[in-house]
Structure 1
Amino acid sequence: MSKPRTALVTGAGRGIGRVVAQRLSSAGYRVVLTARSRDQLEATASECPEQTLVVPADLTADGAVDGLFAEAESGFGPVDVLVLNAGAGSSAPLPRVTDTDWQQQLDLNLTAPFRCLRRAVPTMRQRSWGRVVAVASVASKRGEPYIAAYTAAKHGLLGLVRSAAAELAGTGVTVNAVCPGYVDTPMTEASVANIAARTGTDAAEARELLERKQPIGRLIAPEEVADAIMLCVNSSGITGQGINVDGGAIQS
């Protein structure tokens, strides 16, 4: 029997990352789970049918990405599938975005994925097979008010995906992005709370505002994002794409 392939999922403690980890495990992958919270990672691991490896890490810290991959390779071997899901948003009017705010958004949403991709590619190329899927955002493709730093980082992430896909075409390694709209996750709940606090509306009204941003009139389910991610994992013919999962908000 051939050795099971290894998948690494960042931001695997909750939301989209948890669902993707479950899907990959159910498909027979051994999954390395990373996020900042060990408790959340352990909860994800308990829902995965195949063997998992829990590696808590802050991927923005110096040396964290190299340490993560060293543990993954020591425990399971080279990473075959890399799902770059960890990320966070912040909102503020442009004049109030501090240098620290700006750098935090770039560090988490762009630099950490770049470091993971850089670390994963050599062994994928050597083995002539690999799948990289970054969870970007519709903010990778359009600008919206009050999220300048997040939008800039996500535009950069999509650019990284496209460049890497072009460089790796023909090697057996594919690189794609999935670009969700507002997803029913704890990150969106934080956005709801922020909107409610800023505008004086209640949480239900703030949530409805985000639901209306999708033409289908509701938030996207994490499982729907996972569907697109697994499509990229399972297909060798899809690469260099930014696949929208946004209820029709951006047509491409």
Structure 2
Amino acid sequence: MKALEGKHALVTGGTRGIGAAIATALRDAGARVTISGRDQPALAAAAERLGADTVVMDVASADAVSAAFAQIGPVDILINNAGQAGSAPFGKTDGALWQRMLDVNLSGTFYCSQAALPAMLDAGWGRIVNVASTAGLVGYRYVAAYCAAKHGVIGMTRALALEVAARGVTVNAVCPGFTDTDIVREAVATIVAKTGRSEDEARAQLAAGNPQQRLVQTKEVADAVVWLCLPQSGAMNGQSLAVAGGEVM
């Protein structure tokens, strides 16, 4: 019997990148996996590729989250992966960018956790893993709104972990460094456009903060997430694990 057989896992933002890697790893560990996103065609394509169920959900909308959970039923494992990374100098960070970073990265994590938690508490077992970022542990230039949101995710992780500690539910976060995903590829394109550097030079700039001098791979993040979900990881609670090659200690 696989370690997570009989468990139902929801991965938000599960169509690509880290989310798709997590969905695959949870499936391989035996869980029944549902992935969510806002784009129905992208969900359908990912579901066929990953062997997952789907639900359309905008995590930034409390009503949409409630409707989605009513559709899919109780989940044993919630992976709050959906997120966006917008960048701008602090002086040019307008209210819209600030609010969007909070809505998707922080409020979305709150809404989904609040929706999933009652069934976990009733069952006496559950796992919530929030995909944060090293930006939730340290500061980076030009992403003040993103850093603020991810720091908020870490704070919420710690507070909720204490509330549910004695009831069979654990709440943790993983904090990837620069990871080889579409978000990083977009960052590379931005660096190229603004600085005139080559794509290889831009990627090297992002990788330079990692002592291993490389980008993190999505499977490495996914493996850390699955480990936190295992029954034998029950003593892991309220932790924020940096998956970043030693960038943050």
AA of the residue aligned to 1:248:
G
1:163 Cα shift? 0.3
Alpha-carbon distance in 1 for matches of 2:147, 2:166: 31
Q: Secondary structure at the match of 2:104?
A: helix
Sequence identity (%): 43
AA of the residue aligned to 1:141:
L
Q: How does 1:107-118 map to 2 (within 5 A)?
A: 107-118=103-114
Alpha-carbon distance in 2 for matches of 1:136, 1:94: 21
For residues 141-160 of structure 1, give each alpha carbon's deviation from its aligned partner in whole angstroms, at most 9, with x where no partner exists.
11111000000000000000
In 1, are the aligned partners of 2:20 and 2:50 still within 8 Å (CA)? no
Q: Secondary structure at the match of 2:50?
A: coil
Report whether the alignment pairs 1:34 with 2:30: no
For residues 90-134 of structure 1, give each alpha carbon's deviation from its aligned partner in whole angstroms, at most 9, with x where no partner exists.
111101000000000000000011010111111101110000000
Residues 62/118 of structure 1: CA separation in 2 closer, same or farther (3 Å cut): closer
* Alignment coverage as a number of residue pairs: 245
Alpha-carbon distance in 1 for matches of 2:6, 2:126: 14
For residues 157-178 of structure 1, give each alpha carbon's deviation from its aligned partner in whole angstroms, at most 9, with x where no partner exists.
0000000001110110000000
Report whether the alignment pairs 1:57 with 2:53: no
Alpha-carbon distance in 2 for matches of 1:121, 1:61: 17
Corresponding residue for residue 237 of structure 2: 239
Q: Which runs of 5+ in 2 are unaligned?
A: none
For residues 13-72 of structure 1, give each alpha carbon's deviation from its aligned partner in whole angstroms, at most 9, with x where no partner exists.
1001101111111222111110122233223322335xx321122222351110111111
In 2, are the aligned partners of 1:110 and 1:157 still within 8 Å (CA)? yes
Q: Secondary structure at the match of 1:19?
A: helix
Alpha-carbon distance in 2 for matches of 1:154, 1:87: 10
Q: Which runs of 5+ in 1 are unaligned?
A: none
In 2, are the aligned partners of 1:9 and 1:17 still within 8 Å (CA)? yes
In 2, are the aligned partners of 1:22 and 1:47 still within 8 Å (CA)? no
In 2, are the aligned partners of 1:224 and 1:245 still within 8 Å (CA)? yes
Corresponding residue for residue 20 of structure 1: 22
Alpha-carbon distance in 2 for matches of 1:47, 1:4: 21
Report whether the alignment pairs 1:250 with 2:230: no
TM-score normalised to structure 1 length: 0.93
Residue of structure 2 aligned with 1:158, choices 151, 154, 162: 154
In 2, are the aligned partners of 1:86 and 1:108 still within 8 Å (CA)? yes
In 2, are the aligned partners of 1:21 and 1:44 still within 8 Å (CA)? no
RMSD: 1.6
In 2, are the aligned partners of 1:13 and 1:44 still within 8 Å (CA)? yes
In 1, are the aligned partners of 2:178 and 2:216 still within 8 Å (CA)? yes
1:4 Cα shift? 2.1
Alpha-carbon distance in 1 for matches of 2:198, 2:55: 38
For residues 191-219 of structure 1, give each alpha carbon's deviation from its aligned partner in whole angstroms, at most 9, with x where no partner exists.
11111122221222111100111110100
Corresponding residue for residue 230 of structure 1: 226
In 2, are the aligned partners of 1:81 and 1:131 still within 8 Å (CA)? yes
TM-score normalised to structure 2 length: 0.95
Corresponding residue for residue 188 of structure 2: 192
My pick for the range that moved more, 33-42 or 132-141, is 33-42
Alpha-carbon distance in 1 for matches of 2:21, 2:43: 12
Corresponding residue for residue 171 of structure 1: 167
Alpha-carbon distance in 1 for matches of 2:190, 2:70: 38
